[in-house]
Chain A
Amino acid sequence: MTELPHKPSGSRLPFHQRFPLAIRIGERLLLSLLLLLAVSVLIFGGIEVLPGDFAETYLGQSATPTAVANIRSELGLDRPLTVRYVEWLRALVQGDFGTSWASGSSVSEQISKRLGNSLFLAFCAAVISIPLAVGLGLVSVRYRNRIPDRLINIVSLTAVSLPEFFVGYLLIMVFVVQIGGAAFPATVYEGMSLPDRLNAIALPVATLVLVVLAHMMRMTRAAIISVMSSAYMETAELKGLGKFRAIVRHAAPNALSPIINVVALNLAYLVVGVVVVEVVFVYPGMGQFMVDAVTVRDLPVVQACGLIFAAIYILLNMLADILAIIANPRLRHPR
């Protein structure tokens, strides 16, 4: 038996070699923070460099030069862009998103009420769709190229192409009008009991699940197939490992990180799907709030909502990266 090469004792190694995991996670955190900062610049500055003066667009037909100048100074648009950005960012860090142009009330206050509602909706949809998608993905792989797989394939390809609002109205038509019993519009208010709340959001959640499920399932299927067709699975089979053991010991650990990625990607998609679904079901969430603000060109609200949606999206992607690094040791060492 050959002696293992002498390994230097842990304390003498530099930090980054002793804790590669911590370093990689730290990198991700820093990167996401930088990305968020860049996104804030894009959301704030992007609007400014676009063609068309905002005040003129805001006023529309009644844009006389005096009115434009008045509204610009009223909204503080006549000050330099960088000054406004820094002020905006400073207030933002303290949790202040400014004042809505349309209603004159605090944006943070409005958002804090609605963000919870939206997250609750997305959370319920995620809890149902993730196990279902992974389960169906496994079924699809198990019966690959046979009837169940083909059926799932055709149904999911169709579901991927359906607009969310069509699915939503179809569900309303069937479960509210034809059969009856489901709640519409999905009104929730403070102090509502949990069963009532769940009943109110049943249809919006069902819509989100249907839309996300198809995407998630197709991607899960592809991820599992690519793992199952790799060389080490063939080796495992050839050396006589049982099917169950091969899957638990060899396939599952390797399939974990792609599946985590798929789930995170689709959760991020959920965050966006919420916008349309909230409008369909008149649900008092962030998406509805943002769409209303866009219609009346209420810039502070739109910027705040845009940044929050982007932040959630970036956060989910970051979590997926970190979980993938933890699940897959190969990702811990940059090549």
Chain B
Amino acid sequence: MTIRHIPLPILIGIAIILLTLICALFAPWIAPYGETEVVGDVWQAPNDHFLFGLDNLGRDLLSRLIYGARITVFVALSATVISFTLGIVLSFTAAVSKGIVDTTLSRLNDLMMSIPTLIFALVLLTAVPQNLTTLILVMAILDSTRVFRLGRAVALDVAVMDFVEAAQLRGEGTWWIILREILPNTLSPLLAEFGLRFAFAILFLSTLSFLGLGIQPPYADWGGMVKDNKDGIIFGISAALIPGAAIAILSVSVNLVVDWMMKRTSSLKGGRGDA
């Protein structure tokens, strides 16, 4: 397949994702001003020097947007990676061991899923000390319930295959079966799910930051920037809409690309991240 066979919206989506990643990786070199550097008046309108204008403290919005990409992508990606590792290890263990292990893990998962994610996160964040590690862990653990549900479903489909039975009969251990037989055969639906979970993690992190419970100031992150600038909206100052749009555009791009990839690969059980 060549690049010409990719539809234009998907190409744009891929470009936006790449652009965000580049911003995230090289923020200090790309950003024209510092992350917390006050460069002018409060909510100064966009001009030649400041492409998107200044924020509620007179910091450059574009620079903060670029720095914000770094922390937003880093936290969302770490949470997704941890959530996947946790979810897949537990779900595959459940699917392979069956019996009491499976029942216990599945019921526990049902229990955790019976509390809406955002509400659960709010309850947990009340109790834990507020820092980056706990934030990532809370996000990861709550998200892993969704991964568990999908992982168990796809692993059960593969676990009944003859080659798994053959491996069991020749005496391979549980871990060997999980890593060598089940994982390679469930990789494509899991990859698609990874994209969806990542898009959801960005939205979720932004929502938490917007509520003032995610990443703490003075660090720039997109949801927090919306919160910082929200009081300007009523005066017609669009500073809060720009980071909001950034979240929306990145999340639409990831969803578009994943949606397209899912259509290309066969019979995937994709679960969209909601509630």
Contacts and interface: CB of A to CB of B under 8 A. Distances in A.
Interface of A: 35, 38-39, 42-43, 46-47, 50-52, 54, 57, 157-158, 160-166, 169-170, 172-173, 176-178, 184, 215, 265, 268-269, 271-272, 275-276, 279-280, 290-291, 293-295, 297-299, 302-303, 305-306, 309-310, 313-314, 317
Interface in B190-227: 199, 203, 206-207, 210-213, 223, 226
B71 interface: no
> Interface residues of B toward A: which range?
35 or more
Contacts, number: 160
Contact of B127 (A52, A280, A305, A317): A52
23 contacts: A35-B110, A47-B123, A157-B256, A160-B272, A161-B248, A161-B252, A163-B206, A165-B226, A165-B244, A169-B244, A173-B236, A176-B234, A177-B233, A177-B236, A265-B274, A268-B275, A291-B122, A293-B126, A295-B212, A305-B119, A306-B119, A313-B116, A317-B114
A50 B141 CA distance: 13
A166 B254 CA distance: 17
Q: Give 5 nearest A-B pairs by CB, closest first.
A: A166-B244, A161-B251, A47-B127, A306-B123, A161-B252
A169 B226 contact: yes
B163 interface: no
B255 interface: yes
A163 B207 contact: yes
A313 B126 contact: no
B201 to A, nearest CB: 12
Nearest to B111: A38
A39 B252 contact: no
B102 interface: no
B244 A163 contact: yes
A173 B241 contact: yes
Interface in B89-113: 110-112
A272 B127 contact: no
B275 A269 contact: yes
Given A160-B255, A269-B274, A302-B123, 20 more contacts: A35-B114, A46-B123, A50-B128, A51-B128, A161-B254, A163-B247, A165-B207, A172-B233, A173-B233, A177-B233, A177-B236, A178-B236, A268-B275, A276-B210, A276-B211, A280-B230, A291-B213, A294-B213, A297-B126, A306-B120
A290 B116 CA distance: 14
A35 to B, nearest CB: 5
Interface in B109-163: 110-112, 114-120, 122-129
Nearest to A49: B127
B116 A299 contact: no
B241 A166 contact: yes
B128 A314 contact: no
Contacts of A313: 114-116, 119, 275
B114 A157 contact: no
A310 B114 contact: yes
A47 B138 CA distance: 12
A309 B120 CA distance: 10
Nearest to B246: A166
A265 B275 contact: yes
A158 B114 CA distance: 27
A290 B112 CA distance: 20
B181 interface: no
Contacts of B274: 215, 265, 269
